[in-house]
Amino acid sequence: MYATERQQRILLLTQEQGRVDVPSLAEEFGVTQETVRRDLSSLDRAGLLRRVHGGAVPAGGLHLEPGLAERDSTAAAEKERIARAALELLPTQGSILLDAGTTVSRLAALLPPDSTLTVVTNALPVAARLADHPNLTLHLVGGRLRHRTQAAVDAWALRDLADVHADLAVIATNGFSREGGLSTPDLAEAAVKRAMVAGARRVLLLADSAKYGVRHFARFAGLDQVDVLVTDTGLDEESATEIENQGPEVIRA
């Protein structure tokens, strides 16, 4: 099979399946994984698909934002491990910002009932999980509610966050990469995430490995602004080293 024929087949598989991975393609065509990576890079440069960690997705797929229920069911086991690992990194006292995100919401559910933290969040699911913690001081950020993520955004939310100086911000993202930093499809959501990053002494990023190499429309931070990334073991050692060279410590749960 010529390279052009193979690449046409890769495009078709990507459209049919929504995502392709390098090992499966190499087995499908009887070629090396490096050959597949070159094919994907050529197709990416042509704008016909988009490279992501370990494979590729359709060219338009990066700008589609899944709903809350869909996101919560994706990589559920990995998100649970990430949340449990992140719990060990939270301070026992002080203040934290909790971003909107399904992994962050899982982390909130793990906070012990006797926690004495001060928590600021713009996410209704996070606030709901912490509302019955009697010793915890909970501040709910106001603003326009984005129904897709159940997060408060826009001017009210930004005003609420403007004077906050927290010990730690726990941030979620739709995608992260060396070149593109941390990104999300929505500009209003990105603005709130940017304010949370700016309003904390340290930044903890929670993101499953499938999001590595993915870039969305609205960039809100660089990897050099992250202190610790907690992800899953799907992120290979080479990629973890690449990320750590940008600044963050990487923990694979």
Q: Tell me: the pLDDT tens digits for 135-181?
A: 999 999 999 999 888 999 999 999 999 999 999 999 999 999 988 99
Tell me: pLDDT of 29 over 70: yes
Tell me: pLDDT of 52 over 60: yes
pTM score over 0.95 = no
Tell me: pLDDT of 73 over 70: no
Tell me: pLDDT of 102 over 80: yes
What domains can you pick out in the chain, each with its CATH number? 3-63 (1.10.10.10), 68-252 (3.40.50.1360)
Tell me: pLDDT of 64 over 50: no
pLDDT value at position 8?
Answer: 83
- Beta bridge mates, 64: none
What is the per-residue DSSP string for 181-250? EEEES-HHHHHHHHHHHHTEEEEEEE--GGGBT---SEEEE-GGG-SEEEE-TTS-HHHHHHHHTTS-EE
106-138 pLDDT tens trace? 999 999 999 999 999 999 999 999 999 999 999
175-234 pLDDT tens trace? 999 889 999 989 999 999 999 999 999 999 999 998 999 888 899 999 999 999 999 999
